[in-house]
Amino acid sequence: RKAAGALLVYDLTRRETYANCERWLDELRSGSGPDIVVVLVGNKVDLAEQDAALRQVHYDQAADFAQGHGCLFFESSALTSLNVADVFEALLQEIYHRTPHSRTL
């Protein structure tokens, strides 16, 4: 509750995990408010790169969902660390930019 940011991670090789994203996003926003920074992350991109037939959620579909719901979006691989640091960096930068800062003299 009252989180400034969250990662909403789904397995891009298992469509049912993506199908739950809208419900999880609603829960995040109802618990933390509509201004919570959310990064939608499609994980296991390494598997999809090895075998395209394993991909059940296409990049454009997830990117459109993220854009339509005001989320940042990345595909990543926890196994190879692809984009993992970028996901956290983007989340923290967006939280920082949305947070009011007081100036001291």
DSSP string, 11-57: ETT-HHHHHTHHHHHHHHHHHH-TT-EEEEEEE-HHHHHH-GGG--S
For residues 77 and 48, what is the distance between their CA atoms, to the nearest angstrom? Answer: 10
Domain extents in the chain: 5-98
- pLDDT tens figures, 55-84: 999 999 999 999 999 999 999 999 999 999
Closest CA to 87 of 97, 99, 73: 73
pLDDT for the residue numbered 100: 83
| H or E, element range at 73 | strand 72-75
How many other CB atoms are there within 10 angstroms of residue 37's CB atom? 23
Listed as ranges, residues in the chain with pLDDT below 70 are 1, 102-105
pTM greater than 0.85: yes
pLDDT for the residue numbered 101: 74
> May I ask the CATH class of domain 5-98?
alpha beta
